[in-house]
Chains A and B, each alone.
Chain A
Amino acid sequence: MSPDIFFYLFSALTAGSALAVVLCKNTVASALSLLVSLVGVAALFILLDAFLLAALMVFVYAGAVVALFLFIVMLIDTYGGVRKPFKKATIVASGLGLALLVTGLATLAQRGSIATPEFAGTTAPLVPVGASLRAYGEQLFTTYLLPVQIVGFLLLIAMLGVIVLSKKFEGLEDVK
């Protein structure tokens, strides 16, 4: 089978389950749909030969992040409750949004078609950075060393933020 079929299959899976995340009434079902959607994205990465990214996607997002979501959903226990009917403003806004979306998609179909790239023999085949851990790591520690360092600071201030916003402080009166 041609890889095109797989592409359409996994794209449909990703988009369909992403829609289910929003539409499901049960939050656990939403979180599980998110899991399916992320696995679909990982499969799309494999089709692009980005095996490392696919593995990371499964490990980090499907493994850790969705598990965290489920923990929180179960902790705050949001079952039941009757959903309120939509307000008039919501209906009008969603109608407008839909109209815009249709216009956008129609324009895209008319003007935005992209020719399939044909790789002539003259250009050397690109080595995808996301394919192997080695290529990825070498890029991170040479070309993109500065962004990596900035992300280090980002994580530092995020940690500070968690401490400042959640820790119970005692004896702050002494500290001036």
Chain B
Amino acid sequence: MSPELIQAAADNRWAAIAPELSLGCLALLLLVLEIFLPKNRQSIIPTVAITGQIGLLLGFVWNLRYGPFVAYETFSGLIRHTQEGQFMRGFFMLTSILVCILGVIALAKQKLPKVEFFAITLVVSAAMMLLAQSNHFVLFFVALETVTVGFYILVSYFRTSPLSLEAGLKYLITGALSSAILLFGIVLLYGVAGNPTLPGSSSDSMNFNALRVFLEANPDNFLASVGIVFVLAGVAFKIGAVPFQIWIPDVYQGAPTPVTAFLAVASKAAGFSVLLILTKNVFGSYQTLLVPVLSVMAIATILFGNLAALTQHNVKRLIGLSGVSHAGYLLIAVIAAATEPLAAGAVYFYLFAYLLASFAVFGVMTHVAGANDADQDLEHYTGLAKTHPFLGAILAIGLGSLAGIPPLAGFMGKLLIFIAAFKAGLYTLLAVAIVGVVVSIYYYFGWIKAAYFSTWTAPLLEGETDTRPARTPVSLTAGMTLGLLAAATIVLGFYQGALGEWLLAR
């Protein structure tokens, strides 16, 4: 073998991706346990999954201050370890734990295999962690496809429900289309940056560093511009930005509620962490192209998401469309991040506040939902605050944070984004975003109103049964998780502590 290859083999430092490896091994362990444990003992498998991940997360946070690989590249430049990457790693591990906790509650209502759900969730989370650190289009695409294929399965996991299968099919077709567009963009960039007659060309032009050098040397290359737009379109599909939001309502409604939460939080966060890497570093010299494209996208996303959410009665569709508008606010911060260093930190803070609030709301939704997971209407929430004051309180805090009501964490997130946009001089976008926030308060408070204020419901006639599903009693684990999420939402609104310091220092 040539010395270059030996060098490349030596650069595969597996210790650098220990968290991802451990998650993958934990997934394998779950499958092995399923084979060897007797049927009546298999109930411990979800517990193993959740406690194992909590252990991993604690170990990861404990090791954060050492971070021997931060600011280095490993795996022959496939991975670049950054502080932002470390943050996203912790973020995805936390999401994975929460999805597993919600999964236990939701799967208990279904007659379906249980273990595979946790195994797939773990593998998808590990792939997202790699995606957020990738520095090369090969790793980027492979990790992205692992995430997407995992989601195809998870979305149609409740296969006894036709809506879940329909959602899986819709996600498969639109996902495949977006992957094709993304891949075409990557190939165009690879091809044009590998052209030896152009300055700054490279034989390894899938590498982000090489691509950045090439794009800086060729500031107005037409083929590269087409490639960049295609790559952005592929990523925009993941974050659900208009005009690539077409799949969101149906898929969010049909998917099992924990998977909807996973899609809404983790998939979107993965998309934004990648978008930040691409627009800030790799495509940084093409701002004249990026700013108009992303601005139009952000305006359309905020307006569409908020206006379409106004008329929804199904809460899963409502939260899906409101998630579209959140993607719009985040896009503003991505645009501002080119000139304003505060903006990148604002994106990460917003994502974290969004995680806390969304999982609080989704946790309540899992408890209110019945066996038919796709049918979750606003009506099902009438009197929730009276019969289940705990769930009602969590719902109000979660929705309040999503709406951006002070002093909750969601308000701080929006405030940071607006400050960043103001400093970057994006006044039009700022105005649209404020209109969007005002509109969003209407539908978020409609939901809170359904839970808190009794409305007249038709009395049951003889022989009629209540169509509203029975609410699941809150277990100790779920109660503690939801309580922690709500408490963190409130605390983070008042005091951002080390997290805020770290985010705003860059």
Contact = CB atoms under 8 A, between A and B. Distances in A.
A97 interface: no
Interface string B188-207: 00001001110000010000
Interface in A97-150: 107-108, 111-112, 114-119, 123, 126, 138-139, 141-147, 150
Contacts of A138: 1, 5
Nearest to A160: B116
Given A112-B223, A158-B149, A164-B157, A142 B9 contact: yes
B42, B124, B149, B192, most chain A CB atoms within 10 A: B149
Contacts of B83: none
Nearest to A148: B142
Contact of B222 (A107, A141, A144, A146): A107
Interface stretch (B51-59, B105-113, B237-245): B105-113
A119 B203 CA distance: 13
A4 interface: no
A144 B476 CA distance: 45
B176 interface: no
A101 to B, nearest CB: 13
Interface residues of B, number: 53
Contacts of A144: 78, 138
A16 interface: no
Given A108-B222, A114-B195, A169-B113, A156 B123 contact: yes
Contact of B112 (A115, A117, A156, A169): A169
A173 B111 CA distance: 7
Contact of B108 (A118, A158, A176): A176
Q: Is the interface of B mostly helix, strand, loop or mixed?
A: helix
Nearest to A108: B222
A111 B195 CA distance: 16
A169 B34 CA distance: 15
A15 interface: no
A142 B8 contact: yes
A24 interface: no
B490 interface: no
A147 B222 contact: no
15 contacts: A112-B226, A114-B192, A142-B1, A142-B6, A142-B8, A142-B9, A145-B12, A146-B12, A153-B126, A156-B123, A157-B149, A158-B149, A164-B112, A165-B157, A176-B108
Interface of A: 107-108, 111-112, 114-119, 123, 126, 138-139, 141-147, 150-151, 153-154, 156-158, 160-161, 163-165, 169, 172-176
Interface of B: 1, 5-6, 8-9, 12, 17, 24, 27, 31, 39-40, 42-43, 75-76, 78-79, 108, 111-114, 116, 119-120, 123-124, 126-127, 130, 138-139, 142-143, 145-146, 149-150, 152-153, 156-157, 159, 168, 192, 195-197, 203, 222-223, 226
Given A146-B79, A146-B139, A174-B40, 4 more contacts: A151-B142, A153-B27, A164-B157, A165-B156
